Structure 1
Amino acid sequence: MQSEVMFAGFGGQGILLSGKILAEAAMEKGLEVAWVPSYGPEMRGGTAYCMVVVSDKTIASPIIRNPMHLVAMNRPSLEKFAPVVKPSGVVLINSSLISTGAGRDDIDELAIPVTEIARELGSVKVANIVALGAFVARSKMVDFESLRKTVKEEFAGKEKFIPLNMAALDRGKKMALEGTPSNIPRPS
């Protein structure tokens, strides 16, 4: 079993952190993992992305042209990466910032207003964690309890942030499990 996800959005949205946490949660379960972040001028404002590959066998290449899944935190990321997602993959759309769908009938498209949810929780900085919780709940790429443990470990030196991040993770899961397929308009 091998699965891949592309996390993509604006620099500063915690894209790389989401991928890192997912990779660590998979390692926690003894799976093979590759995490390939993109660094560069994207750090604030441009498009940032990372790929996470998880497998129960040795990973031949960490570079994947057609990932199984996509978490799109902004419209440029959806437009760039949704066309290459494998059929039946999960495409999570941050509907707070994206008002259109991927335009495909062969994917599991889920639109969740992760930025708005994060704002309701107290900080837009946890929008990535809301999205991560929703994605893992929907895709089942890793065990959700392993993800919770990894998030706690990630913020171990900053204990005051743990409750907010746990709430964000759980709210994302709740939205994904209650959610229905995206009903946002398709691109023209």
Structure 2
Amino acid sequence: MTEELIIAGFGGQGVLSMGKILAYSGVMQDMEVSWMPSYGPEMRGGTANVTVILSDEKISSPILHEFDTAIILNQQSMDKFEKQVKPGGTLIYDGNGITNHPTRKDISIYRVDATEEAAKMRTTKTFNMIVLGGYLKVKPVVKMENVINGLKKSLPERHHHLIPMNEKAINRGMDIIIPVESTN
């Protein structure tokens, strides 16, 4: 099993930390892992993305030009990465701020309204964990206990009291993700 994934959005949306948690989770499952972030000098508010590869086999290169899955969190990333999802792959997106929705018919498309849900939960900082939960529902590539351990590994110890709230957000994302039918 190999999962080649890109997570893309604005800096400040938790894109890099979502990738880091997945990478730690994979390591804890004895998987081969690659985590490669990319962001502009402006960081918060600029575009950011991270490529994550989780595999049972050696990873030959962290550089990817197409992906099994794309998690898209803004329109700029949709414009750039929708076409780079492999035929038969998966695209997951948060509908907030997306004006040109994905229309490909050769991939599975899912929507997780994480921005709206995080506002309802009054925990906007858990936006990325809601998205992560949606992804893990569709693609359960790592076990939940390893995701929680990945959270512990990536969060500073002074923030470990937030782990139950993050776990709740992951579970909520699993509940609200929905498949999208193409309108074309």
- State the Cα distance separating 1:183 from its structure 2 match: 4.6
- Normalised by the length of structure 2, the TM-score is 0.92
Greater fraction strand: 2
Q: Which runs of 5+ in 2 are unaligned?
A: none
Q: Which runs of 5+ in 1 are unaligned?
A: none
8 Å CA contact retained: 1:100, 1:185 = no
**1:76 — aligned with what?**
76
RMSD: 1.7
1: CA distance between counterparts of 2:75 and 2:182?
13
- Normalised by the length of structure 1, the TM-score is 0.90
Distance 1:152 1:119, change over 3 A: farther
> 4+ runs of 1 displaced by more than 4 Å?
183-186
- State the Cα distance separating 1:89 from its structure 2 match: 1.5
Matched, 1:182 2:180: yes
1: CA distance between counterparts of 2:139 and 2:81?
17
Matched, 1:164 2:165: yes
Map 1:74-153 to 2 at 5 A.
74-153=74-153
Alignment identity in percent? 36
- State the Cα distance separating 1:90 from its structure 2 match: 1.6
8 Å CA contact retained: 2:40, 2:46 = no
Name the amino acid aligned to 2:161. Answer: K
- State the Cα distance separating 1:40 from its structure 2 match: 2.9
Name the amino acid aligned to 1:25. Answer: S
- State the Cα distance separating 1:69 from its structure 2 match: 0.4
Distance 1:110 1:160, change over 3 A: same
Q: Which moved more, 1:35-44 or 1:50-59?
A: 35-44
Name the amino acid aligned to 1:157. Answer: R
Q: Which moved more, 1:38-47 or 1:72-81?
A: 38-47
State the secondary structure of the residue aligned to 2:116: helix
- State the Cα distance separating 1:185 from its structure 2 match: 5.7
- State the Cα distance separating 1:153 from its structure 2 match: 4.0
- State the Cα distance separating 1:157 from its structure 2 match: 3.0
- State the Cα distance separating 1:151 from its structure 2 match: 2.1
**1:53 — aligned with what?**
53
